[in-house]
């Protein structure tokens, strides 16, 4: 058993320069304890504690000691054709002597209240453990598929001839290409200037290649050269990001990777679940040169890996639902009865019509009873209300056939995101 903290004894506040050493040490002990504090501070250099768009937050105890920290990333993301302000959560850390006392939970509860007061409708994070964040209302919103295949299995599309090495004078074109395509995707981030600075910062083993037709930039791919199995002298290429405006650009990128077969044994392709990549290959199986654990099921070969998924949370469900465009459908009304571990019970009615959703004071004939995490799953397009009703994860008071209309209105490809933080 552990003793819970007394919130009245703690202060939740933005990190300040005077917190620098303690702020770094909390992170070091949580994530890289084999690194010394001096090494960490040297790596950070003279950068400010709170760089643009990345505000640190701390919990201070009654003695003035920092007992927890996290960093708030100020992002917006594209979803269903709309731009959502989003609170990104990064590097949640608690002092060793304060762990298992509810400190992180209390800190994130204060953070959620702060975000709602600032009218931020949505939050996103990459969890260290999904179950911890589920208790606070976050839900898996999207997954990514990773394929580890022999470079010799990729088709050598003729469009590969349009691939060229990145040149700094193409920086603006690359940004424009990403931004234009991001608006058409679900879950891509609107990258701020500091995020682009990190993108273009040189890094050993990392290369960017462009797909161009004349002067028009139509695609790019970010590669990282690595060794999957250090004891072997075999190079692999990890595809960190790829963007293709046209089918030709997509084929050019895939074909270019195929040309690396004499140098690279394995291509590691990361993509959203709907990507056609696995169907284009000569062999649908994991590169047999790898010695990872064997997998057999109904004579199927090990081929792809599915990530555990990043998590979203609706911070303000009313604001988020109104902001989210919907598929055109016959008008209908639905009440929402939401249980939230931070904000308690919320009830409101939404009228869905003409591609938009609006709050209404009218009493609904049907009400969906759901938790905030299940509502987030529905909102993101990852799951359907009829499925959740069938499994007993949500309840319906009234006519359950209305769920068919809700699923049609909220139909969307689940989010996918290139950026990790």
The arithmetic mean of pLDDT across residues 344-365, rounded, is: 94
- The pair of three-digit structure tokens given for residue 178, joined into one six-digit string: 């990403």
Q: Which residues pair with 126 in a beta bridge?
A: none
Q: Pairing relation of β-strands 216-226 and 206-213?
A: antiparallel
Q: Domains plus CATH for the chain? A: 7-120 (3.40.630.30), 145-306 (3.40.630.30), 311-409 (3.30.1050.10)
The arithmetic mean of pLDDT across residues 331-337, rounded, is: 96
- Least Cα distance to 267 among 187, 112, 152, 350 occurs for 152
- The pair of three-digit structure tokens given for residue 241, joined into one six-digit string: 């990001």
- Least Cα distance to 292 among 280, 283, 301 occurs for 301
Comparison of pLDDT for 212 and 8, the residue scoring more:
212
**296 contact partners, CB below 8 Å, separation of at least 6:** 302
Instruction: Evaluate whether 408 touches 332 at the Cβ level (below 8 Å).
Output: no
8-state DSSP, 282: S
Q: How many other C-beta atoms lie within 10 A of the C-beta of residue 251?
A: 20
Instruction: Evaluate whether 364 touches 348 at the Cβ level (below 8 Å).
Output: no
What whole-number percentage of the chain has pLDDT above 70? 96
What phi-psi label fits residue 225: left (phi over 0), alpha (psi between -120 and 50 degrees) or beta? Answer: beta
What whole-number percentage of the chain has pLDDT above 90? 85
- The pair of three-digit structure tokens given for residue 261, joined into one six-digit string: 């077969």
| Rounded Cα gap, residues 12 and 290, in angstroms | 48
Residue 211's pLDDT band (cuts 50, 70, 90):
very high
Residue 378: enclosing H or E segment and its boundaries?
Answer: helix 372-380
Between 221-225, 293-297, 356-360, the lowest mean confidence (pLDDT) is in: 293-297
Residue 2's pLDDT band (cuts 50, 70, 90):
very low
8-state DSSP, 26: H
What does residue 68 show for φ and ψ, rounded to 5 degrees? -160, 160
For residue 290, pLDDT beyond 90: no
| Number of residues that make up the chain | 421
Q: What is the DSSP string of 357-421?
A: EEEE-SPPS-EEEEEHHHHHHHHHTSS-HHHHHHTTSSEEES-TTHHHHHHHHT--PPP--S---
| Rounded Cα gap, residues 288 and 244, in angstroms | 29
Residue 133: enclosing H or E segment and its boundaries?
Answer: helix 130-134
Tokens 């509860």 label which residue?
109
Torsion of CA 19, 22, 28, 34, to 10 degrees: 140
| Rounded Cα gap, residues 326 and 82, in angstroms | 10
Instruction: Evaluate whether 145 touches 255 at the Cβ level (below 8 Å).
Output: no
Residue 1's pLDDT band (cuts 50, 70, 90):
very low
Residue 296's pLDDT band (cuts 50, 70, 90):
low
Predicted confidence (pLDDT) per residue in 35-92, tens digit: 999 998 898 888 999 999 999 999 999 999 999 999 999 999 999 999 999 999 999 9
Q: Which residues pair with 369 in a beta bridge?
A: 337, 395
Q: What is the pLDDT of residue 299?
A: 66
| Rounded Cα gap, residues 201 and 400, in angstroms | 53
The arithmetic mean of pLDDT across residues 6-26, rounded, is: 91
Angle between helix axes 37-44 and 20-31 (nearest 10 degrees) is 110
| Rounded Cα gap, residues 185 and 413, in angstroms | 9
What pTM does this model have? 0.92
Between 70-79, 112-121, 352-361, 392-401, the lowest mean confidence (pLDDT) is in: 352-361
Q: What is the pLDDT of residue 306?
A: 86
| Rounded Cα gap, residues 129 and 117, in angstroms | 27
Q: How many other C-beta atoms lie within 10 A of the C-beta of residue 118?
A: 11
- Least Cα distance to 268 among 286, 253, 284 occurs for 286
The arithmetic mean of pLDDT across residues 320-346, rounded, is: 94
8-state DSSP, 293: P
The arithmetic mean of pLDDT across residues 21-38, rounded, is: 94
């Amino acid at each position: 058993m552990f003793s819970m903290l007394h919130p009245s004894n703690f202060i939740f506040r933005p990190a300040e320069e005077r917190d620098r050493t303690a702020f770094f040490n909390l992170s070091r002990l949580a994530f890289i304890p084999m690194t010394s504090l001096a090494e960490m501070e040297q790596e950070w250099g003279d950068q400010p504690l709170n760089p643009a768009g990345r505000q640190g937050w701390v919990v201070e105890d009654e003695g003035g000691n920092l007992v927890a920290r996290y960093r708030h990333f100020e992002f917006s993301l594209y979803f269903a054709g709309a731009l959502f302000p989003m609170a990104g959560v990064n590097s949640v850390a608690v002092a060793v002597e304060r762990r298992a006392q509810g400190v992180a939970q209390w800190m994130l509860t204060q953070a959620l209240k702060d975000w709602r007061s600032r009218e931020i409708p949505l939050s996103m994070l990459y969890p260290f453990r999904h179950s911890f964040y589920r208790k606070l209302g976050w839900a898996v919103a999207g997954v990514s598929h990773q394929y580890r295949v022999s470079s010799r299995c990729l088709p050598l599309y003729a469009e590969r001839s349009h691939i060229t090495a990145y040149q700094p004078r193409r920086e603006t074109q690359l940004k424009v290409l990403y931004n234009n395509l991001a608006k058409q995707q679900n879950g891509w981030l609107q990258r701020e200037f500091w995020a682009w600075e990190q993108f273009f910062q040189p890094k050993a083993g990392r290369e960017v290649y462009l797909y161009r037709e004349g002067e028009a930039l139509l695609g790019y791919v970010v590669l990282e050269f690595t060794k999957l199995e250090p004891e072997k002298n075999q190079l692999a290429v990890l595809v960190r990001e790829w963007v293709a405006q046209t089918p030709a650009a997509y084929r050019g990128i895939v074909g270019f990777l195929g040309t690396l077969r004499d140098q690279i044994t394995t291509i590691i392709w990361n993509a959203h679940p709907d990507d056609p990549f696995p169907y284009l290959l000569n062999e649908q199986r994991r590169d047999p040169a790898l010695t990872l654990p064997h997998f057999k099921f109904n004579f199927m070969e090990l081929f792809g890996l599915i990530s555990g998924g990043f998590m979203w949370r609706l911070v303000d469900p009313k604001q988020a639902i109104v902001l989210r465009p919907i598929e055109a459908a016959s008008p209908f009304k639905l009440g929402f009865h939401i249980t939230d571990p931070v904000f308690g019970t919320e009830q409101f009615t939404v009228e869905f019509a003409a591609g938009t959703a609006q709050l209404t004071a009218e009493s609904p004939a049907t009400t969906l009873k759901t938790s905030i995490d299940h509502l987030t799953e529905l909102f993101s397009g990852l799951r359907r209300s009829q499925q959740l009703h069938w499994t007993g994860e949500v309840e319906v008071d009234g006519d359950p056939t209305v769920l068919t209309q809700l699923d049609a209105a909220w139909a969307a490809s689940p989010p996918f995101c290139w950026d990790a933080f």
